[in-house]
Chain A
Amino acid sequence: MLNYVLRRILQAVPLMIGVSIIGFGLMHLAPGGPLAVYTLNPTITAQDIERIKVVFGLDQPVYVQYFKWALGMFTGSWGYTFFGGRPVLVVILERVPATLLLMGSALSIAIVVGMFVGILGAIRRYSVFDYLATTGAMFALSFPTFWFGLMAIYVFALQLRWLPSGGMYELGAEGEFFDLLRHLALPTMVLALVIVATWSRYTRSSFLEVIHQDYIRTARAKGLRAPAILFRHAFPNAVKPLIALLGVQLPFLFSGALVTETIFGWPGMGRLFVDALTMKEYPVLMGMMMFTAFFVIFSNLIADVAVAMIDPRIRLA
């Protein structure tokens, strides 16, 4: 097992290097480069720009800049924001809890609902329920997240006035649990919808594949009852590709969270990203790209290790 984990970590290293090269390259290819915010400012002279270049080390060859920057990434010095001069890592990290809360609640609801729908669809294949569920999933996948969010705001916040239309807390109610729940409800629902759709589709096909295996027929032949077959024999095998899917789906979840946070004014990483974009905050953008990519690599690692724990064939291969 340890052997497998180590091998898997070694595979993640080139990925991290690749991610850092792309992130670094993207920022340097940008028109105006990393100093765009200064060159566009009329009160800053050409001499000032030269001085800033020297101070930031931007007069050095590109590869030197890259290595210095990459070293900074690993030692936790991710640079400072242009406006306010705060450490980028701190700025990002203070937004992480809000996003994790939103993604976590959406994901857990989506997994429970999606798996339930998927398993039922697989068992009762071609039934009315199955037909409705697969068609419904297709509908859900086609909704633009932001439009669904706007419609949800219109119905539940503007017309029915059941839920707040945005933000995380009511003024003066910071930290109150029920207020947080009320604010969490709509964005969670919007973000969860797409994941439910994907999740139910994958669960259905994964269970369908397992259900027709010989060992399920054997279990049935020796007289086991349906729930025992389903949960003891089918579930562990069907769930393996789903765990791997969790890691693969994570970038989509981040994309969805970005859009959802923008609509609902949720103070998470997605909002930070959109704000940084308007202010041309390159250090923050670069940091965000690295942070999400590293998070994705790390989650894929965890997912693979989890699958290997369930299935000895993988870790011994």
Chain B
Amino acid sequence: MTSTQNIIAEAPEAAVVAARHESFVRLVLRRFLRHRLAVVGAVVVVLLCASALFANAVAPHDPTFLDTKHRFLAPFQDMGFLLGTDELGRDTLSRLLYGGRVSLAVGVVAMLTTVLSGLVVGLAAGYYGRWVDDLLMRFVDTMLCFPQVFLLLVVAAFVPPTLISISLIIGLTSWMEVARIVRGEILYLKEQDFVQAARALGAGGARIMFKELLPNAIAPVLVAATLKVATAVLMESYISYLGYGIQPPLASWGNMLTNAQGYFDTVPYLAILPGAMITLTVMSFNFLGDGLRDALDPRLRMD
């Protein structure tokens, strides 16, 4: 009791701030760990990222090597080709690993594009208000009138499909939600005392936006970013499936599925495997994001 009093007497503010900061991180972690499916999601996400990063070390075969002597092998039929082979004798496991690399790369780059655009638009709209806000938010409303897949396909059909171009297209057609979230946060934050204090001390617009507002608005953005990886992976598979995404022989889960559709009646596992990988990835990111949302929710901060 006396020691606490001493600390508070010596450096009252620093002690309180440090204590609260420490306990908030701990609290978030504790609440996240309680959410079992979110933990499972996090573990799977780590595993998927590792297998994508080290695909060249883990994969037993070259994903584009054609082995015409071993076509249409079923999973576990030949231990040299653990998950079987496709119509050209390419090893399915290797293609899934390399395909995962492509799908996750698209997911992450698209997410970064989404978050960056959303942050810029939301920050500008929320901070400057007035006509800037009106203009940007009407633009957001307008973009939201178009079905995303329609927009994606139209642009994807015009642009030569590369990993970067597809990620950018996906990112640039899905930032609106993030912009709205950030704007809402900024509108609330900019009326808070600490921002008024910064302004009174003579801080400029850029300083207030990036030093005061942005760090405090990061929690909901983090949640949205996680969920955006999930939708981006899904979107990549949609456009690759429809033939406007990643082009063969480069493997992506989406184009593996399109390819498998031709032999669907006789060798269904060729379609089941990439689809299962997409589902697993999307689901893990969704559970992870959901768990983060619950753990970071300020309304539950008191439990």
Contact = CB atoms under 8 A, between A and B. Distances in A.
B148 A19 contact: no
Contacts of A252: 147-148
Interface in B217-258: 230, 234, 237-238, 241-242, 244, 257
Contact of A26 (B147, B154, B271, B286): B154
A139 B283 contact: yes
Given A26-B155, A146-B241, A141 B147 contact: no
Interface string A122-163: 000000000000010011011111110011011000100000
Interface stretch (A48-56, A68-76, A238-246, A291-299): A291-299
Given A142-B283, A262-B242, A274-B242, A254 B147 contact: yes
Contacts of B138: 14-15, 18
B279 A138 contact: no
Contacts of A153: 264
Contacts of A289: 146, 150-151, 154
A224 interface: no
A264 to B, nearest CB: 13
A277 B147 contact: no
A285 B152 CA distance: 12
A138 B142 CA distance: 29
Given A158-B265, A259-B238, A262-B242, A251 B145 contact: yes
Contacts of A146: 237-238, 241, 257
Nearest to B284: A142
A252 B234 CA distance: 13
B143 interface: yes
Contacts of A141: 286
A245 to B, nearest CB: 13
A23 to B, nearest CB: 8
Given A147-B278, A274-B242, A18 B147 contact: no
Given A18-B141, A139-B283, A150-B271, A254 B257 contact: no
Interface string A1-30: 000000000000011001100100010011
B295 to A, nearest CB: 16
B238 A293 contact: no
Given A154-B264, A251-B148, A15 B37 contact: no
B120 interface: no
A13 B254 CA distance: 39
Interface residues of B, number: 41
A18 B139 contact: yes
Contacts of B286: 138, 141-142
B112 interface: no
Interface string A255-273: 1001100100000000001
A31 interface: yes
Contact of B37 (A14, A30, A135, A296): A135
Nearest to B237: A144
A258 B241 CA distance: 12
Contacts of A111: none
Given A22-B146, A293-B146, A144 B139 contact: no
A146 B139 CA distance: 30
A288 interface: yes
Contacts of B275: 144, 147, 150-151
B272 interface: yes
Contact of A15 (B145, B244, B268): B145
A251 B147 contact: yes
Contact of B287 (A138, A154, A255, A297): A138
Contacts of B141: 15, 18
B282 interface: yes
B25 interface: no
Contacts of A139: 283
Nearest to A30: B158
B149 A258 contact: yes
A259 B149 CA distance: 9
B146 A273 contact: no
A26 B153 CA distance: 12
CB-based closest 7 A-B pairs: A18-B142, A147-B275, A142-B283, A255-B149, A254-B147, A142-B282, A293-B145
11 contacts: A18-B141, A142-B230, A144-B282, A147-B275, A150-B271, A251-B146, A252-B147, A277-B153, A292-B146, A293-B145, A297-B145
Given A29-B158, A258-B147, A292-B146, 5 more contacts: A22-B143, A144-B282, A150-B264, A158-B264, A274-B242
